[in-house]
Amino acid sequence: MLRNPVFFTLFILALACTGCASATGPWVKLGGQRYSVEVARTEAERDRGLMFRDELPAGHGMLFIHEQEGPLAYWMKNTRIPLDILFFDHDKRLVSQQRDVPPCDLGDACPPYPSDAPAIYVLELNAGEAERLRLENGATIEFAPDIQPAP
């Protein structure tokens, strides 16, 4: 006999969302795939990025939001996991890709990975995601409603 149908309904909803990290918190959608993201808006957050991490869970990434569109270059200083670095313009169109960028433990000697066109958003995903999604320049990214776009 069911004593509390409201509790039961909430319990079933919670079970349905277990393991779907993109159900709550910030997310982006790219190539038909939804990714839970950490958002790096400040200079300090962008500078730290994914440094010193041993893994990036599947279905997760980091979204970097810059103040203005322009030439960007990222590096892998103190980054321990290979990444795809995807650059987007103000219209949220993919303008450049750096795929399968290897980790770097050379400190300031790590090479830069530049965008081929001005960008304002950068999405870092586990290496191989861009290939898996068959991403081509011109693809668009969608942000969760709680992610404020660049000014």
Q: Which class is domain 23-143?
A: mainly beta
Residue 110: the pLDDT is: 96
Q: What are the pLDDT digits (tens) for 41-60?
A: 999 999 999 999 999 999 99
Report, as an integer, the average pLDDT of 10-20. Answer: 38
DSSP strand E in the chain: where?
A: 27-30, 33-40, 60-70, 73-75, 83-88, 94-101, 112-114, 119-126, 141-143
* Confidence at residue 22, expressed as pLDDT on a 0 to 100 scale: 42
Query: CB of 118 within 8 A of CB of 70?
Result: yes
**Two tokens, residue 73:** 């270059």
Domain layout of the chain by residue ranges: 23-143
Looking at per-residue pLDDT, the higher value among 46 and 18 belongs to 46
Q: What is the pTM of this model?
A: 0.84
On the question of pLDDT at 29 being above 70, the answer is yes
